[in-house]
Structure 1
Amino acid sequence: MTSSNKQNKTKYPVFIVLGSGGHTAEMCTINMALLTSARGKEIYNPVRYIIANDDITSRSRITSAMQKVGVALDDTSFIYVPRSRKVGQSYLSSVFTTLWALLWSFWLVWSGQPKLLLCNGPGTCVPFCIATYICRQIRRLPSTTKIVFVESWCRVRTLSLSGKLLRPLLDLLVVQWPALAEKYKNAYNVKYFGKIM
């Protein structure tokens, strides 16, 4: 069997980063739309949902959303990771927790080899985007691996902090308001498809 045939038979996963609260609600909507599109369940399979280890609601919310589109999730569908920074945590101590989260992200991306990293702005996604970008640069991941960031619909005129930090690393940054699209009209990777939620 040739290496290209082996690659075609390998199921590279899709990594989807969930954040607590509104981030997960938006990602549920995005994920349901992807899976109900033509061939969506074939293309976006298998999926691994990345959740902060102290997030107690995202798993139940995404499980409920996926049941509506006929997708059953089990324990292998979820990966729990340390947060980069907790709410109220000092910036000094967050340096160490961010480094720890980045190491975790590198290990998971290196071993999991995702074909797509999809996120919408929770802080948990930052180390994963960095790890995916670097692993692709050093050819641990194929050049076809994509990093897609969907900016929250509440970001009307400015990008979120995560969006600003990660924009140079992203293959696609989706914005949902014309004013924001106009602001970044010269950015090759910023696209506007209308309000998608």
Structure 2
Amino acid sequence: AMAAMAAVLGVVALRLWLSLPGRWRANLEGKAKCLVVLGSGGHTTEMLYDLASLGALGARLELTYLIAETDRGSSTHADAFERERGAGVARAVRVPRAREVGQSYSSSVWTTLWATWVTIGHVMRLLPDLVFCNGPGTCVPVVFAAYLCRFFGLKRVLVMYSESFACVDHLSLSGRLLYRVADRFTVQWPHLLQLYPKSEYAGRLYSEAEVQHCRISGALPPPADLPLLPEPGA
């Protein structure tokens, strides 16, 4: 019995070790299925700018968007973005919100468990090659589901995390949770590399001049080198 238990623990430990970032090289040649996590509060806007900046790589990605059930704006922007790409209506899956604004923490335990369960089902059904996220709380269960796929040998789903421009001196809560488990982790402020050496500086969505203008005037300019998102219904 002890030998059998040791063997099981050994297999579990091996699967966990193989699931960690950097154990296998990424191979995304040709078309690749990408699950993109969108979210309110500016996350969707930044994510779509990130996708637009991928160039040739972005053209090879077959995008599916994961959106919270109560987030209507992100769905509209995703459809507009896909029309710009010439891909028609966005492919999207909906998940319950783990916690609504104003919801008590005690009741959010059950809604979080339900949201995680639904998310796991979507990820295991889609089996994407890549998960791309940038900070909404919805992304944490998605990355957990990606690791379940890796652990059980269903597919090595790669995780790419792009920290928000708004995180100047620290990582967001989602960023802190996923910093050590994402295969690629990018930040938009170079001084964050000193605090988080595993991260990569991927440039900023805003130019230095616009950053200075933003600090002085309080305005929030659009990204410097990428087109403005089309207005919903345009």
Say if 2:122 is the partner of 1:108: yes
Matches within 5 A, 1:59-74: 59-74=75-90
Could you list the runs of 5+ residues in structure 1 that have no partner in the other structure?
1-7
CA RMSD of aligned residues (A): 1.9
Q: 3-state DSSP class of the match of 1:72?
A: coil
Instruction: Give the TM-score normalised by the residue count of structure 2.
Output: 0.71
**Aligned partner of 2:187: which letter?**
V
- Asked if structure 2 preserves the Cα contact closer than 8 Å seen for 1:32 and 1:69, the reply is no
Matched, 1:17 2:53: no
Identity of paired residues, percent? 41
Rg: which structure is higher?
Answer: 2
Superposed CA deviations along residues 30-56 of structure 1, whole A, max 9, x for unmatched, are: 12222xx12532x202x1101100111
Q: Give the structure 2 partner of residue 5 of structure 1.
A: none
The amino acid across from 2:120 in the alignment is F
Supply the AA of the counterpart residue of 1:182: Q
Q: Contact 2:168 / 2:189 at 8 angstroms: preserved in 1?
A: yes
User: Which of 126, 150, 167 matches 2:140?
Assistant: 126
Other structure's SS at 2:153 match: coil
- The unaligned stretches of length 5 or more in structure 2 are 1-27, 206-222, 224-234
What TM-score does the superposition give when structure 1 sets the normalisation length?
Answer: 0.83
* C-alpha contact (below 8 Å) 2:193/2:200 kept by paired residues: yes
Aligned residues: 178
Distance 1:132 1:58 in 2: 22
Amino acid aligned to 1:105? T
Q: Is the 8 A contact 2:51 2:58 kept in 1?
A: no
Q: Does 1:82 align with 2:96?
A: yes
How far apart, in 1, do the equivalents of 2:173 and 2:142 lie?
Answer: 15
